[in-house]
A = this chain, B = another copy of it.
Amino acid sequence: MAVYTDVTAEELADFLAGYDIGELLSYKGIAEGTENSNFLVHTSAGNYILTLYEKRVAAKDLPFFLGLMQHLASRGITCPQPIENKKGDAQGQLAGRPAAVITFLDGLWIRRPSAVHCAALGEALAKLHLAGLDFGRKRHNALSVDGWRPLFEHCRERANEVHRNLRELIDKELTTLKRDWPRGLPEGVIHADLFPDNVFFLGDTLSGMIDFYFACTDALAYDVAVCLNAWCFEPDHSYNMTKGRALLQAYTRVRALGDDERAALPRLARGAALRFLLTRLVDWFDVPPGALVRRKDPMEYVRKLRFHQKIKSVNDYGIEE
C-alpha cells in the first residue's frame, strides 16, 4: 500500500503524449499494490491506471504479464488491458521505471464473498484457464513446490516465534509435498493470486479480474486450489462447503476437472496453503510491527493447511470424486 516512485505532471504529460488517449487532466497515486506504484489517471478520453514496475517485478517478466492481459482481453476476459502507445508498444519507460498504461475497470471487491460470488469466481476462473490455453509465452512458477524450501530457509529460525512447533509442522509438510506433489496434470496460464481483492463485482456480477503479476504456467487445478483457500473459508477459518461446492461446480460447468485433477486437489490445496503461509511468514519478520504496511496473519494459513491435511477426497470439498 504505497507509491514508491514520484512522477511529476510535466514528465507524465510528456509520457502520455506518446499515447492516443487525450490530454492529461489529473492523476493521483493510489494506495494499492504492494509491488508497484499505481496512479489513477484522468484524461480527456477517460480513466486509466498507470503502473510503474518497481524492482520486485522483474523487467524480463513484463512481456509475459502485459502480453497475457492483452491476450485474455482479446478473448473476452474482463481484465486490465494494456494500452499500446503510438509506436505499438505496451511497455514504456517513465521516471526511470518500466511503465504501462492500462484500462480502468469499474467494480468493487467483496470482503465476505457469498456462495453466489464463489460461483461467479469459479466460472470466471475456468474461462480464464480456457482463454489462456493458446497464449504463446510461458513463465515458470517460482513459488511452487521447488521454491518453498528456499523460502522457508528465510524464516525457519524464527518460525516458532509465531507459533509453537510451527517450524516442525512446515518442515514435515515440505517433505511430504515434495514427495507426493502431483505431476503431469493439465497445465496452462494460472493467475496464482486470485484473492477476493483481485476480483471486482458490480452487484453479484463479476466485472473484472486484476493483478496478473504472479501469473505463470502451472497446473490449472492448482489455481482452483488457491481459490478454495482464498474464497471458501469463514473468518473463523472453517471451510464452508456450500461456497466450495458453488465454486467447484461453476468451474466444472465451464471446464471439466479430470479424475487426476480431482484426486490431486487435496494435495494441491495443501500446497497452496503452504505457499501463502510461507510468504506471509517471510513478510511477518520482514515488516517491523510499527510500520504502516499491514501484515497478514500466517496462522490463518496454518489452520487451512491443517484442514486440508485431514481431507480424504475431493468429496470433502463439495463435489464428486
In contact, A32 and B28 (Cβ under 8 angstroms): yes
The segment out of A2-10, A52-60, A151-159, A260-268 that lies at the interface is A2-10
Shortest beta-carbon distance from A104 to chain B in Å: 8
Closest partner residue, chain B, to A112 (CB atom):
B10
Q: Which residues of B contact A254 (CB under 8 A)?
A: none
A236 within 8 A of B: no
A21 within 8 A of B: no
Q: A31-B2, A292-B2 are in contact. Are A106 and B8 (CB under 8 A)?
A: no
* 4-37 of chain A: CB within 8 A of chain B: 8-10, 13, 24-32
Q: A42-B47, A292-B292 are in contact. Are A1 and B26 (CB under 8 A)?
A: no
A108 within 8 A of B: yes
Closest partner residue, chain B, to A9 (CB atom):
B108
In contact, B292 and A9 (Cβ under 8 angstroms): no
Q: A10-B111, A107-B26, A111-B10 are in contact. Are A3 and B3 (CB under 8 A)?
A: no
A284 within 8 A of B: no
Interface size on A, residues (CB 8 A): 32
Docked Cα-Cα span, A24 to B13, in Å, equals 29
Docked Cα-Cα span, A234 to B6, in Å, equals 20
In contact, B25 and A106 (Cβ under 8 angstroms): yes
Shortest beta-carbon distance from A9 to chain B in Å: 4
Docked Cα-Cα span, A3 to B30, in Å, equals 9
Within 8 Å by CB of A1, from B3, B10, B40, B293, lies B3
A109 within 8 A of B: yes
Q: Which residues of B contact A202 (CB under 8 A)?
A: 25
Which of A30, A42, A109, A293 has most B Cβ within 10 Å?
A30
Docked Cα-Cα span, A209 to B292, in Å, equals 29
Q: Which residues of B contact A2 (CB under 8 A)?
A: 31, 292
Q: Which residues of B contact A25 (CB under 8 A)?
A: 106-108, 202
Which of A31, A111, A202 has most B Cβ within 10 Å?
A31
A–B complex contacts, Cβ < 8 Å, 7 sampled: A1-B29, A25-B202, A26-B104, A26-B106, A28-B30, A30-B30, A292-B293
A residues with CB within 8 A of B: 1-3, 8-10, 13, 24-32, 40, 42, 47, 104-111, 200, 202, 291-293
